[in-house]
Amino acid sequence: MGPGTLAVGVKLKEVATRDVVYRNCIVLHSDAIGLVFEVERTVSDAGGDVENVVSQLLVPWANINHVLLVEERT
């Protein structure tokens, strides 16, 4: 992967790092440093309350094992 490889708005099926796999992401920015994407996650707090949150993450390319694109047919 390299700079400009993924355009803003591209839907990603999966972004995998060594420890975490993010699913159903949307690219916000991509350059030589890394990938910035948005992902909706379900989280729970210590009291057991569950909610959906939207996170924006920057992951350096060196930490990304693989990226899977979503195939869309029209």
pLDDT for 46 equals 87
Nearest to 63 by CA among 27, 25, 36: 36
Any idea what the Cα angle at residue 28 is, between residues 72 and 44, rounded to 5°?
Answer: 90
Q: Which tens digit of pLDDT belongs to each residue from 26-51?
A: 999 999 999 999 999 888 888 889 99
Q: What is the pTM of this model?
A: 0.81
Contact between 53 and 37 under an 8 Å Cβ cutoff? The reply is no
